[in-house]
A and B are shown apart, each in its own frame.
Chain A
Amino acid sequence: MKHPNPRNKRAAAVVGIGHTDWVADWARCRAGERPNDSYGYGIAALRNALADAKINRDEIDGLIAGPTTAYERLGELTGINPRWGGQADAVLAVSQAVMAIEAGYAEVVALVYGNDQRSVGTQYGGPEAMGGGAFLSYVYHSPWGFTSQGALYALTLQSYKQARGFTEAEMGEVSVAQRGWSSLNPNAIMRKPITIEDYMASHYVCEPLHLFDYCLINDGGVAIIIAEAERAKRMTDKPVYIEGIGRFDLNARATSLEPRIDDFYLPAQRAAAEQSYAVAGLGPKDMDVLQVYDSFSVHVPLALEGYGYCGIGEAGRFLRESRIGPGGALPTNTSGGHLSETYMQGWAHQIECVRQVRGEGGARQVEGARHVHYTSDVAGKCFSVIYGA
């Protein structure tokens, strides 16, 4: 391990979380309404997070806007003039908040995300697919009809099945398990339990991915307030510390998707895992709950292998025998995740980590959860974040 910085360990803690009513907004969007725009959702979530933290907006001195709202406009609308700020996706926002706090640029950072993707019809595939400016792979292959985020992961799953002997039914274990969790979550949009038979019978969108392997597309917002550790202790009885963060990116040959279909992100996941485990002084055996960025179900077996929860080639057996659903050995995506709860692009996973550590998971609470591990591998940018009591 190269230079893990122990100063990052428990330098900051989450003191407030908030979100919007995904279930109600889902119904309204399906009825053709536009309940809010992205800013409106973000601000509604921020209000809830401030209430949860029991603080006034004036205590915020750092602001991070999610990728779907402009930073300056969000600051204008929330009336926040911070001494430090920026724009980032979910896990980068958590990491930047910790960095700013540890460097002394801010003490109480609000992370705000809102997305009106359902009501405005944001396209993740087809002629109007988004993302080309940031990721060439999202648009470069369209002359061959190759479009959509799902296709990128379908290609990953196909070569993963071949390389590891992973089966279609084993893939189905992920969506079945997550629906098991979401059936216990009143905030989840999809709550009807499904079986492996339902999964196998469901139609393909981009084969080998079935409908149930895809995330939802819905409107909503999430906000998180992260404070410097000593201040956090004065603010709440239940600070949830960020124990350690690790990151490693695979960019070489990314447009032709080789980090996914050749390497399954494994080298990056291992490097990110090693850094975060070294900073936190913890390993996979210490984790009570795992949360995986699951735009598609295939992220889960890749994470199980990449972060050391099972050996290489053992994810299929792990999913079948050890299990990740309610009552399983490794509770994973306990809210239902992107597949069944809400697609908040990793933001809702952060607040589920916090709830589980606080013991506020309701019917889905994992008894005695102390350490919760979040991982993401969006486009080969692998992150590992460990939350702890």
Chain B
Amino acid sequence: MSMMDAVATPRPVMGLYDAPMWDSIKAGAMQLQRCGACENWLYPPGPACPRCLSCDLVWTPVSGRGRILSWVKFHRHYLPAYPPPYNAIAVRLEEGPSMISNLEGAMPEEGCIGRAVTLVYATMPDGMVLPRWAYPG
């Protein structure tokens, strides 16, 4: 199946501040905004630091280390690109913010909350690159 025929991955919300993050993901090195004044990290991207309201934000690569905060398993077919069963996890990045993503290479299971995960870049059938997470090693 060519990329042209592949089921489309749901498009990200693309506000005024989101594009640099998705460009960095496509390049395989995810960046988030970091506050130049108080060093707070932002996710999702935005116009100002919620902690100190500074607009001095610097796109900075993340370490790619995080821990699982919670997880779910979808049993219903909501989206064409996602036939069930599939998982979603909430990950706390080492930098502070948390994000919703997927666990690659395994299904999450009882007791996985708190486990360390590392950032991986998954290329979807339509060519879109998604930041996902996997157990290290």
Known: A132-B13, A159-B70, A206-B72. A142 touches B79 (CB 8 A): yes
User: Residues of A contacting B132 with CB < 8 Å?
Assistant: 144
Q: Check A143 against B71 for contact (C-beta < 8 Å).
A: no
Segment from A44-52, A57-65, A133-141 that makes contact with B: A133-141
User: Residues of A contacting B113 with CB < 8 Å?
Assistant: 158-159, 162
- Pairs across A and B, CB under 8 Å, 13 listed: A126-B78, A127-B79, A127-B80, A136-B44, A140-B44, A143-B11, A144-B132, A145-B74, A155-B72, A158-B71, A204-B75, A253-B98, A255-B44
**Does B31 sit at the interface, judged by CB under 8 A?**
no
Q: Shortest CB–CB separation between residue B117 and chain A, in angstroms?
A: 14
Q: Which residue of B lies closest to A141 (CB)?
A: B100
User: Residues of B contacting A151 with CB < 8 Å?
Assistant: 72, 74, 88
Number of interface residues of A (CB under 8 A): 36
User: Residues of B contacting A156 with CB < 8 Å?
Assistant: 70
Known: A151-B74, A204-B73, A208-B72. A144 touches B90 (CB 8 A): no
Measured CA separation A262–B97 after assembly (Å) = 12
Known: A205-B75, A252-B50. A142 touches B10 (CB 8 A): yes
User: Residues of B contacting A80 with CB < 8 Å?
Assistant: none
**Does B9 sit at the interface, judged by CB under 8 A?**
yes
9 closest A-B pairs by beta carbon, nearest first, are A145-B82, A159-B70, A142-B10, A141-B100, A207-B73, A154-B72, A146-B88, A126-B78, A204-B75
**Does A369 sit at the interface, judged by CB under 8 A?**
no
Q: Chain B residues in contact with chain A, CB under 8 A?
A: 9-13, 43-44, 50, 69-76, 78-82, 86, 88, 90, 97-102, 113, 128, 130, 132
**Does A342 sit at the interface, judged by CB under 8 A?**
no
Q: Check B9 against A262 for contact (C-beta < 8 Å).
A: no
- A114-143: contact bitstring with B at CB < 8 Å (1 yes, 0 no)? 000000000001110000100010011111
Q: Chain A residues in contact with chain B, CB under 8 A?
A: 125-127, 132, 136, 139-148, 151, 154-156, 158-159, 162, 203-208, 252-253, 255-258, 261-262
Q: Which residue of A lies closest to B46 (CB)?
A: A255
Q: Check A155 against B71 for contact (C-beta < 8 Å).
A: yes
User: Residues of B contacting A155 with CB < 8 Å?
Assistant: 70-72, 88, 90, 100
Q: Check B69 against A206 for contact (C-beta < 8 Å).
A: no
User: Residues of A contacting B90 with CB < 8 Å?
Assistant: 155, 159, 256-257, 261
Known: A159-B113, A255-B44, A256-B90. A145 touches B69 (CB 8 A): no
Q: Check A256 against B88 for contact (C-beta < 8 Å).
A: no
Q: Which residue of A lies closest to B128 (CB)?
A: A143
Q: Check B13 against A206 for contact (C-beta < 8 Å).
A: no
Q: Check B75 against A203 for contact (C-beta < 8 Å).
A: yes
User: Residues of A contacting B97 with CB < 8 Å?
Assistant: 253, 256
Please give 11 more A-B residue pairs, beta carbons under 8 A apart, in addition to A151-B74, A253-B97, A261-B90: A136-B44, A139-B13, A140-B100, A141-B100, A143-B10, A148-B76, A155-B100, A158-B72, A159-B70, A204-B75, A206-B73
User: Residues of B contacting A162 with CB < 8 Å?
Assistant: 70, 113
Q: Which residue of A lies closest to B11 (CB)?
A: A143
Measured CA separation A204–B76 after assembly (Å) = 8
Q: Which residue of A lies closest to B80 (CB)?
A: A127
Q: Which residue of A lies closest to B51 (CB)?
A: A252
Q: Which residue of A lies closest to B50 (CB)?
A: A252
User: Residues of A contacting B76 with CB < 8 Å?
Assistant: 148, 205-206
Q: Check A258 against B98 for contact (C-beta < 8 Å).
A: yes
Q: Shortest CB–CB separation between residue A121 and chain B, in angstroms?
A: 14
Known: A158-B71, A206-B73, A206-B75. A146 touches B100 (CB 8 A): yes
Measured CA separation A252–B46 after assembly (Å) = 13
Known: A126-B78, A140-B13, A151-B88. A257 touches B100 (CB 8 A): yes
Q: Which residue of A lies closest to B99 (CB)?
A: A256
Q: Shortest CB–CB separation between residue A253 and chain B, in angstroms?
A: 7
User: Residues of B contacting A255 with CB < 8 Å?
Assistant: 43-44
Q: Which residue of B lies closest to A208 (CB)?
A: B72
Q: Shortest CB–CB separation between residue A167 and chain B, in angstroms?
A: 11
Q: Check A148 against B78 for contact (C-beta < 8 Å).
A: yes
Q: Shortest CB–CB separation between residue A141 and chain B, in angstroms?
A: 4
User: Residues of B contacting A145 with CB < 8 Å?
Assistant: 10, 74, 78-79, 81-82, 86, 88, 102
B9 CB contact (under 8 Å) in A132, A143, A261? A143
